[in-house]
């Protein structure tokens, strides 16, 4: 079985297939829908935060890559998603079209970005500690584990000063790598619950069809349906991403080939790490 994996927001702007006529169509659709053109990364829609522009770039590349694979006859038996990768994954499943995927990426991204106008948030990457140790450190500092990528690779999220303090504690506890990144909002933590009403109103404006290709979500590893998608789109922003659990679930259900459909190869690297420990 083949699984297409849709990664979340890139951590930095990446080159785009600017000479590909099909990508140009996706870029123009993005510009028409959101105001952002991924072919003009540094000048387009400058009023949008960097995080929102990165999210749109990621969705555009994922949508283009999925369309490209489909045209080549390389289909998928299952789909999986990580964080903001849910929107292009829904499009690939047939639940929504590309324009809706971009609109949701944009509108959800802008809504959560508004949290950053009130407080300064950050992400903290910690490599080398166990989940149990890091949960204690996160609790000590009033922040949360947002991404469980492997047994030793995690992202923390919360207010910047608290994240920085947690990273110092993590290093003192034996982590062999730490890093910090500014972000608009603490995605995948309970802190997002303060804006769930706004997010629910956005999602309620769209219709979702039954996915033609099964799409496995990253919280409880269930297969999304038209009825469960709207709730998941809000819930997943308030709860962690469990990628290691999702990958192991897919392997145990017969997936033998994984194709990363988006910017970079982060999920593929996580998969190799998980395999090396099994």
Taking only the tens place, the pLDDT of each residue in 152-180 is 999 999 999 999 999 999 999 999 999 99
Backbone φ/ψ region at 253: left (φ over 0), alpha (ψ -120 to 50), beta: alpha
Distance separating alpha carbons of residues 9 and 79, to the nearest angstrom: 17
Whether residue 99 contacts residue 93, with contact meaning beta carbons closer than 8 Å, is answered with no
- Among residues 48, 58, 61, the alpha carbon closest in space to that of 8 is found at 58
Spans of all domains in the chain: 2-115+190-277, 119-183
- 44, 102, 120, 145 from 184: Cα distances, Å: 19, 19, 8, 16
Beta-strand runs (E) in 109-212: 121-127, 144-150, 153-159, 177-183
Whether residue 103 contacts residue 60, with contact meaning beta carbons closer than 8 Å, is answered with no
Whether residue 128 contacts residue 148, with contact meaning beta carbons closer than 8 Å, is answered with no
- Burial of 75 (C-beta count, 10 Å sphere; 0-12/13-18/19+): exposed
DSSP string, 197-258: HHHHHHHTTS--PPPSS-EE-TTT-PBP-TTTHHHHHHHHHHS-EEHHHHHHHHHHTT--EE
**Other beta carbons within 10 Å of 174:** 10
Whether residue 229 contacts residue 207, with contact meaning beta carbons closer than 8 Å, is answered with no
Can you name the CATH fold of 119-183? Alpha-Beta Plaits (3.30.70)
Can you name the CATH fold of 2-115+190-277? Malonyl-Coenzyme A Acyl Carrier Protein; domain 2 (3.40.366)
Here the tokens at position 52 are 């929102």
Per-residue pLDDT of the chain (278 residues; tens, 9 = 90+): 999 999 999 988 877 787 889 999 999 999 999 999 999 887 888 899 999 999 999 999 999 999 999 988 888 999 999 999 999 999 999 999 999 999 999 999 999 999 988 899 999 999 999 999 999 999 999 999 999 999 999 999 999 999 999 999 999 999 999 999 999 999 999 999 999 999 999 999 999 999 999 999 999 999 999 999 999 999 999 999 999 999 999 999 999 999 999 998 999 999 999 999 87
Q: What is the DSSP secondary structure assignment for residue 128, as one 8-state letter? A: S
């Amino acid at each position: 079985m083949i699984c297409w994996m849709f990664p979340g927001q890139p951590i930095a702007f990446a080159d785009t297939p600017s000479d590909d006529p099909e990508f140009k169509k996706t870029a123009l659709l993005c510009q028409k829908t959101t105001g952002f053109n991924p072919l003009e990364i540094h000048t387009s829609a400058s009023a949008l935060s960097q995080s929102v522009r990165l999210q749109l770039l990621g969705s555009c590349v994922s949508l283009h890559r999925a369309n490209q694979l489909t045209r080549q006859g390389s289909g998928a038996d299952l789909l999986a998603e990580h964080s903001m990768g849910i929107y292009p994954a829904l499009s690939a499943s047939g639940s929504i079209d590309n324009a809706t995927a971009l609109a949701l990426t944009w509108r959800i991204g802008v809504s959560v970005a508004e949290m950053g106008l009130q407080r300064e948030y950050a992400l903290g990457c910690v490599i080398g500690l166990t989940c149990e140790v890091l949960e204690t450190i996160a609790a000590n500092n009033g922040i949360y584990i947002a991404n469980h990528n492997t047994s030793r690779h995690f992202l923390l999220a919360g207010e910047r000063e608290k994240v920085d303090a947690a990273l110092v504690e993590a290093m003192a506890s034996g982590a062999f790598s730490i890093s910090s990144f500014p972000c608009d909002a603490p995605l995948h933590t309970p802190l997002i619950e303060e804006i769930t009403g706004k997010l629910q109103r956005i999602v309620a404006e769209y219709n979702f069809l039954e996915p033609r290709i099964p799409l496995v979500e990253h919280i409880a590893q269930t297969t999304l349906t038209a009825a469960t998608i709207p709730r998941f789109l809000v819930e997943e922003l308030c709860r962690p991403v469990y990628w290691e659990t999702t990958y192991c679930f897919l392997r145990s259900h017969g997936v033998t080939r994984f194709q990363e459909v988006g910017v970079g190869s982060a999920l593929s690297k996580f998969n190799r790490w998980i395999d090396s420990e099994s």
